[in-house]
Amino acid sequence: MSALAQVSDAQLAEVALTRGEYELASRLLGRAPAEVELGVIGAMWSEHCGYKTSKPLLARLPTSGARVLQGPGENAGAVDIGGGLACVFKIESHNHPSAIEPYQGAATGVGGILRDVFTMGARPVALLDSLRFGPFEDPAQRHLLDGVVAGIGGYGNCIGVPTVGGELYFDDSYRHNCLVNAMCVGIIEQSKLTLAAAAGPGNLVLLVGADTGRDGIHGATFASVELNDASSERRPAVQVGNPFLEKCLMEVCVTLAGDPRIVAMQDLGAAGLTSSSAELAHRGGCGIEMDIARVSRRERGMTPYEVMLSESQERMLLVVRPEDASSVQAEFDRWDLHSDVIGTVTGTGRLVVADAGEVVCDLPLDLLIDDVPLRHPVARRPDGLDEQLAVDPLALAPPWSMGETLLRLLNSPNIGSRRPIFRRYDHQVGDDTVVRPGGDAALLRVRGTGGAIALTTDGNGRYAALDPRRGAAIAVCEAARNVVAVGATPVGVTNCLNFGNPEKAEVFWELSEAVEGMREACLALGVPVVSGNVSLYNDTEGVSIAPTTVIGMVGHLEELERRCGAGFARDGDAVLLVGPVGMDLGGSEYQRLAHGVNAGPRPTLDLDLEARVQAAVRAMIDAGLLASCHDLAEGGLGVALAESCILGGRGAELTTGLFALGAPTVRAGLLFGESQSRFLTSAAAQDVAAVRAIAQSHQVEVRELGTTGGDRVAIAGVLDLELAEVLRAHAQALMPGQGWG
Amino acid sequence: MRFGIAVFPGTWSDRDCARAVEVAGHESVHLWHRDRDLGGSDCVILPGGFSYGDHLRTGAVARFAPLMESVQEFAAGGGLVLGICNGFQILCEAHLLPGALTRNVSLEFRCETAWLRVETAATPFTSACEPGQVLAVPVSHGEGRYVAEPSTLDRLEADGRVAFRYVSPDGSPVGDASPNGSMRDIAGIVNEARNVLGMMPHPERAAEPLLGSTDGMRIFQSVVNAVAADSVFAVPR
């Protein structure tokens, strides 16, 4: 091994290290790093692996709770869902690869998050996807959308894990940086949870699954820099997925969960063999020694550097005792999966890599993981934000009648039916999907317990652009409302922070604010963060995306029978608004459509009220009082009403005079404002008094608005539409060239 | 009775099929692709999935699995074989059924409820249905468009071997709403001896009221009835 005499700026740029960081590494090491070592340090110190910017912020999040079985730090988080079972879940971004190669970028995003879950032994039972693109009207964006949806389906459908939910927004801010966040949820007996901490010097390290190729070299560092015109030349940094291989790998890993022969299991993700081996050894307080000449290759002539940094997919590391190696290898052979003994666990605390006996890397693990130089960028509130917030969204008169406005909102690509997307995903395989995509949260039966889990992802970037703190808090509340609307109790959060380049003071301010907002909301609702992922440098040509905090949430429903749907279930039920009347138009979808701006005060949020409203609604569903329950989100009350009609296949008439009051802007505010902490519910007439009593005991407002039934969606004195017309506008939102009119 | 459920690498509705069999009150045994033993099965199910990753063509590799030799013999001897989704594709590749399944006309994967009209109750797989009855059964595939020579299609129709056709919920022709654009809207067919059925929709996903439909259970029930009736006359194996 020879130390690099001189390191050029270009070499440092390739591994995304600053000159200062390079010098620090040399100082800690007591010498200049060799070539392979430099690549290893660059990868481990990248934002993607080392969280050098976000680590101090993330430490502020609440991560403990009575149900938490595994918090952040492992491959995925885990919570107790009763019956001796654990729900294992995590969300992760694959934004940069998807922007360049949408199909493979999205597919390998799904593959990666699946591995994070089955590495812990859990059988994946559901996938969700949170997607953001530029304007739907732009054919280039639709091309990206099509590729990403095909990639998600191509992987998930083939491997046989249902894609049960997610969300999709279009906004100018994502025109050059689409967001593709994938969440995976698995279930396992608690006693079989498998961790990724190596133990027992002398134990063997097995590399299992795909052969190693040149694909994805520098993927981790690629995700830690901005995109530009030359980014498409980075295409070799995008990996290619093989869901068939992963299906076989998954079956073996799930079978081996809880098997005493398995000491530890760790998947290979960003920075491939480098980060997986280092983290595996470091978690267990051990060291690791590998000879990469033993790694099966896909192509000839690969250098040790390339082998260590390859991000070839569908690979796992296992630690086994020497006497068990051949029997464990036989389990993989049964599925025609290749396995190599590539090294041993040591007690040295070092990562030692040899190539056919010649040492090419010998680094202390502390340097790679504990000594990641944290960056503490300056935070500065963006100029001009005050002017934006000072705009009065009620000052502009609505351009359309209220009826036409509702139809336009339903036809908006941000609100209309997602069926053209989710019918391309197998959302049923596994036979546990009780509430399919299209409602609030998806609901999955948990076999053998009588219960269910509710799953959702949420994250409105428009509110966050006005106020990242409020925006992140709303994302948590909205996710929790979706979970509560089906009758479940929120039990855990996973988050994906999608931001621009944190070296910009404004972006770092957004990031710190968002983490604070997430912290406040999680504390207020009593739901811990158990896993997460950070995607920074979502910039192109110096322009950053809107600060987008995506929240993935898992809820638990004790008894499947006590669930609730979002569609009006019967004719003649009372339509009830639970929560306050409001008219927050700032940041709303109405504002975007009607006036083409995003300005004014973002929706107000009273976290104490939010918690009370959610508790009240849960109590109402638990008492069996509600025939339907739907969260109010984009498009406000008007859209929620139409959606409950669409999902229930019946109309409704609101007879209250509330909405006919005041000027047209006030009506628009009341109907389409996105005020928080609200649900639209329906209940039998004889149950209304009991609903009111529960609301009162939680100090929550309830208003009776009208009655379900008929074939019209009508609001006295404001709008009167045929249900068929409403259905059509909603159904055609994602069908280009098919307007509602 | 006992259902044997084939497992190829890449198969994923094996566990769903086992669950449906359990709901029907019967037992099932998994059959590994490399084995030749059918484990005393009264009916073999070739379930859905992406056997061998759909490499070459859907079902093209699975056809050569050792297990399929036994399935061929079993079918030749009159044993009941039910191919669902990828199973239908394998049966076509193995020439146990005529025709082929090609890419959906939409060029997209489709997962949604399909409505199937029962075209004949005179098979061991449909005897518990009424002819003309409409069943709600989910589909989930990217390559489910049934194609065959016009003469083959004519013969299938003339022999009453079209088991299911895609229709609208009210039983009228499906038109453009077909999930895959199959020729003559064919969703499932039987072989000449009527002991092998291939169908693209997933009856195992329509086995419980909780999941929206129990119509798929009629197919499992028909098989159970057929095996029970047969066993009255059968010589012990």
Q: State pLDDT tens for residues A324-352.
A: 999 999 999 999 999 999 999 999 999 99
Beta strands (DSSP E) in A139-227 are: 163-170, 179-189, 204-209
Mode of pairing for the β-strands spanning B2-7 and B43-46: parallel
Q: What is the mean pLDDT of residues B48-54?
A: 95
| Domains of chain B listed by start with CATH number | 2-230 (3.40.50.880)
- At residue B236, the pLDDT reads 44
User: Which chain B positions have a beta carbon within 8 Å of A423's beta carbon?
Assistant: 110-112
- B204 labelled catalytic: yes
> Angle at Cα B120 formed by Cα B173 and Cα B105, nearest 5°?
40
Query: Per the CB < 8 Å rule, is B208 touching A431?
Result: yes
Cα(A688)–Cα(A575) distance, rounded to whole angstroms?
A: 10
Q: What is the mean pLDDT of residues B41-69?
A: 96
Identity of the residue in B54, B109, B211 whose CB atom sits nearest the CB atom of A431: B211
Mutation pick from B35, B54, B103, B111 vs chain A, by most beta carbons of A within 10 Å, is B111
In this complex, how many residue pairs, one in chain A and one in chain B, have their CB atoms less than 8 Å apart? 75
Cα(A149)–Cα(A142) distance, rounded to whole angstroms?
A: 10
Identity of the residue in A160, A425, A445 whose CB atom sits nearest the CB atom of B12: A160
What residues of B are in the A interface, CB distance below 8 Å?
9-10, 12-13, 15-16, 19-20, 48-50, 52-55, 108-112, 138, 140, 142, 202, 204-205, 207-208, 210-211
In one letter, which amino acid is A433?
A: T
User: Which chain A positions have a beta carbon within 8 Å of B207's beta carbon?
Assistant: 431
Query: Per the CB < 8 Å rule, is B16 touching A433?
Result: no
What residues of A are in the B interface, CB distance below 8 Å?
150, 153, 157-160, 242-245, 247-248, 335-336, 422-431, 433-434, 445, 560
With contact defined as beta carbons under 8 Å apart, do A575 and A707 qualify? Answer: yes
Cα(A535)–Cα(A315) distance, rounded to whole angstroms?
A: 23
Identity of the residue in B55, B108, B111 whose CB atom sits nearest the CB atom of A426: B111
With contact defined as beta carbons under 8 Å apart, do A479 and A453 qualify? Answer: no
| HEC assignment per residue over chain B | CEEEEEECCCECCHHHHHHHHHHCCCEEEEEECCCCCCCCCCEEEECCECHHHHCCCCCCCHHHCHHHHHHHHHHHCCCEEEEECHHHHHHHHCCCCCCEEECCCCCCCEEEEEEEEECCCCCCCCCCCCCCCEEEEEEEECCCEEECCHHHHHHHHHCCCEEEEEECCCCCECHHHCCCCCHHHEEEEECCCCCEEEECCCHHHCCEHHHCECCCHHHHHHHHHHHHHHHHHCCCC
How far is the alpha carbon of B140 from chain A, nearest alpha carbon, in Å? 6
User: Which chain A positions have a beta carbon within 8 Å of B53's beta carbon?
Assistant: 158, 242-245
Query: Per the CB < 8 Å rule, is A157 touching B109?
Result: yes
How far is the alpha carbon of B18 from chain A, nearest alpha carbon, in Å? 11
Could you identify the residue written with the tokens 């939910």?
A165
With contact defined as beta carbons under 8 Å apart, do A539 and A226 qualify? Answer: yes
User: Which chain B positions have a beta carbon within 8 Å of A153's beta carbon?
Assistant: 109
With contact defined as beta carbons under 8 Å apart, do A564 and A487 qualify? Answer: yes
- At residue A3, the pLDDT reads 74
pLDDT digit string (tens) for B171-214?
999 999 999 999 999 999 999 999 999 999 999 999 999 999 99
Cα(B186)–Cα(B183) distance, rounded to whole angstroms?
A: 6
Q: How deeply is A668 buried, as exposed, middle or buried, from its count of CB atoms within 10 A (0-12, 13-18, 19+)?
A: buried
Identity of the residue in B9, B53, B55 whose CB atom sits nearest the CB atom of A335: B9
- At residue A4, the pLDDT reads 76
Q: What is the mean pLDDT of residues B2-24?
A: 97
User: Mutual orientation of helices A723-731 and A636-648 as an angle, nearest 10°?
Assistant: 100
How far is the alpha carbon of A563 from chain B, nearest alpha carbon, in Å? 12
Total number of residues shown for chain B: 237
User: Which chain B positions have a beta carbon within 8 Å of A160's beta carbon?
Assistant: 12-13, 49-50
Query: Per the CB < 8 Å rule, is A427 touching B52?
Result: no
- A218 labelled catalytic: no
Which candidate in B43, B129, B141, B202 is catalytic? B202
Low-confidence residues of chain A, pLDDT below 50? 235, 740-741
Query: Per the CB < 8 Å rule, is B142 touching A157?
Result: yes
Query: Per the CB < 8 Å rule, is B211 touching A336?
Result: no
Query: Per the CB < 8 Å rule, is A426 touching B52?
Result: no
C-alpha separations of A18 from A13, A28, A503, A547, A695 in Å? 8, 15, 12, 25, 57
How far is the alpha carbon of B58 from chain A, nearest alpha carbon, in Å? 12
Q: Searching chain B, which residue's CA lies closest to the CA of residue A447?
A: B19
Query: Per the CB < 8 Å rule, is A431 touching B142?
Result: no
Q: Searching chain A, which residue's CA lies closest to the CA of residue B138?
A: A428
- At residue B237, the pLDDT reads 40
In one letter, which amino acid is B104?
A: N
Cα(A194)–Cα(A680) distance, rounded to whole angstroms?
A: 42
Query: Per the CB < 8 Å rule, is B9 touching A157?
Result: no
